[in-house]
Chain A
């Protein structure tokens, strides 16, 4: 029996926690099929209640091994977990190598863990266009904790900060990351700074350095000052692991801080604000290009500009005026 593609039925099953339904809905939404908006409209009321943790940091610092531990700890607490891992798409071929799942192997047989890999598909910012939607779907599925793992190699990949309530920035000592991150001000945006591979030389210096930077940061009274947690996330024997419990405590502390102060409302606001902005930008672009498609107008606009008649701003103003603002059917 082929799986039903009726989105209504899928959504019912999603609310009941069915993972096959979740998987299919994520695909429908990721591929922006015509059912996309309808699906999101229907599930949206059932979202907004999960604990969302974001993990970012350069390649090789051990994000996935930390994710592994967090999944286990949350599961030990009896919580169900959803995980979204994002990897970059090749700008040349459009393909992607989604290589994070392989590192999250310990949870393959646990039904309480649902993992989905996403390719960035040209989206900059460390996530993919669909990441927000996918998180919402996992929330509607009933997942109580959602972990979002992104590639944060540079200073531009910080979109995770708005998507997550508690954002972890992972670094390792001696890689000069602390200098880079400081330049970006990213340390003031991450809620918890994790110094992984804390058995390496230079850990103490790294921690002191970061604490020094934080101490001159512009934090006001009552602000959350990022916590610095050293960890060892990979060891051949479990007794050699370090810092995982402290990390969980820090996450809990931050979550508590959010609820006790009004910061939680602020975080919720910013999440929706970002969502709105992204969807709007996306849909607007889609609308205009859909209107222009096949008319040859885009080419004419560009050729005009090339021959010295006009400029891109005038073109956009004209399109906005005629199409969007006056409600014309044609550009």
Chain B
């Protein structure tokens, strides 16, 4: 039987921030929705994240930001993805940041930013509607 295509998601934190409750909970809920989730954990660098995304050929890359570092790391991650031709990978971000930074982050290249408190169904629906293939 040809299995339906599984959506592969990479969830990660970046930099020194160690608040991982949200990333872990979202990972578990995406798994409950039938996705295959790789949780990369804390203290990742942009290069390491994109390398993992390539090797695992993920459909979605999700970054969790909770300590104000989103504007510093977003361009680095986006540029690393572009360098490696990962344009069809969906890039999403979640966490705590000023609302006014959200348009900036999306302009920098994030496909969708989800503020903390967003219900997981919203994230799931977005992924299913926008994932490649």
A touching B, CB within 8 angstroms = yes
Q: Which residues of A pack against B, CB within 8 Å?
A: 1-3, 19-20, 23-24, 26-27, 31-32, 89-90, 93-99, 101-102, 105, 108-109, 114-117, 119, 121, 285-286, 289
Checking B30, B35, B47, B55 against A19 with a beta-carbon cut-off of 8 angstroms, the contacting residue is B55
Distance between A40 CB and nearest chain B CB, rounded to angstroms:
15
**A286 / chain B contacts, CB cutoff of 8 Å:** 1-2
* Interface flag for B101 (CB, 8 Å): no
State A1–B88 Cα separation when bound (angstroms): 10
Residue of A nearest to B37 (CB): A97
- Contacts A32-B3, A96-B36, A117-B36 supplied; 8 other A-B pairs, CB < 8 Å: A2-B85, A2-B87, A95-B32, A95-B33, A98-B39, A99-B38, A114-B55, A285-B1
**Inter-chain contact B31/A93, CB cutoff 8 Å:** yes
Nearest B-chain residue to A96, judged by Cβ: B36
Q: Residue B6 at the A interface, CB < 8 A?
A: yes
Q: Answer yes or no: B51 CB below 8 A from chain A CBs.
A: yes
Residues 21 to 73 of chain B near chain A (Cβ within 8 Å): 27-28, 30-41, 44-45, 47-48, 51-52, 54-57
Which of B30, B41, B54, B88 makes the CB contact (< 8 A) with A105?
B41
Tell me which residues across on chain A come within 8 A of B5, comparing CB atoms: 31
Name the CB-closest residue of B to A92.
B32
Most B Cβ at <10 Å: residue of A26, A98, A105, A286: A98
Contact of A289 among B1, B44, B47 (CB under 8 A): B1
Which residue of A is nearest B28, CB measured? Answer: A97
Please give, as numbers and ranges, the residues of chain B lying within 8 Å of A289 by CB-CB distance. 1
Docked CA distance A95–B31 (Å): 5
Q: Contact between B1 and A95 (Cβ–Cβ < 8 Å)? A: no
Instruction: Check A97/B39 contact, CB under 8 A, given A1-B85, A31-B5, A286-B2.
Output: yes
B51 touching A108 by the CB < 8 A rule? yes
Query: Interface residues of B, CB < 8 Å — how many?
Result: 34
Residues of the B chain whose Cβ atoms lie less than 8 Å from the Cβ of A101: 38, 40, 52, 56
Interface residue? B84 (CB, 8 A) = yes
Q: Are A24 and B57 in contact (CB under 8 A)?
A: yes
The smallest beta-carbon distance between B55 and chain A, in angstroms, is: 6
- Contacts of B34 on A, CB cut-off 8 Å? 93-95
Bound: A286/B1 CA distance, A: 5
Interface string of B74-113 (1 = CB under 8 A from A): 0000000000110110000000000000000000000000
Give the complex CA separation of A3 and B133 in angstroms: 13
Q: Which residue of B lies closest to A105 (CB)?
A: B41
Residues of B within 8 A of A (CB): 1-3, 5-6, 8, 27-28, 30-41, 44-45, 47-48, 51-52, 54-57, 84-85, 87-88
Give, as a whole number of angstroms, the nearest-CB distance from A42 to chain B: 19
Within the complex, the shortest CB–CB distance from A217 to chain B, in Å, comes to 39
By beta carbon, the residue of chain B nearest A118 is B36
Contacts of B38 in A (CB 8 A): 98-99, 101-102, 117
CA distance A229 to B5 in the complex (A): 42
B4 to chain A, nearest CB (A): 8
Q: A20-B85, A102-B41 are in contact. Are A95 and B2 (CB under 8 A)?
A: no
Closest chain A CB from B31 CB (angstroms)? 4
> Which residue of B has the minimal Cβ distance to A282?
B1
CB-nearest residue of chain B to A115: B55
Residue of B6, B30, B39, B87 near A119 (CB, 8 A) is B6
Q: Are B56 and A116 in contact (CB under 8 A)?
A: yes
Closest to B40 in A: A102
* Known A121-B3, A285-B1; contact A20-B36, beta-carbon cutoff 8 A: no
Contact present for A31 and B88 (CB under 8 Å): no
Pick the 6 closest A-B CB pairs, nearest first. A95-B31, A23-B57, A108-B48, A102-B41, A98-B38, A27-B57
In the complex, what residues of A have CB within 8 A of residue B32's CB? 90, 93, 95
Residues of A within 8 Å of B51, CB to CB, are 108-109
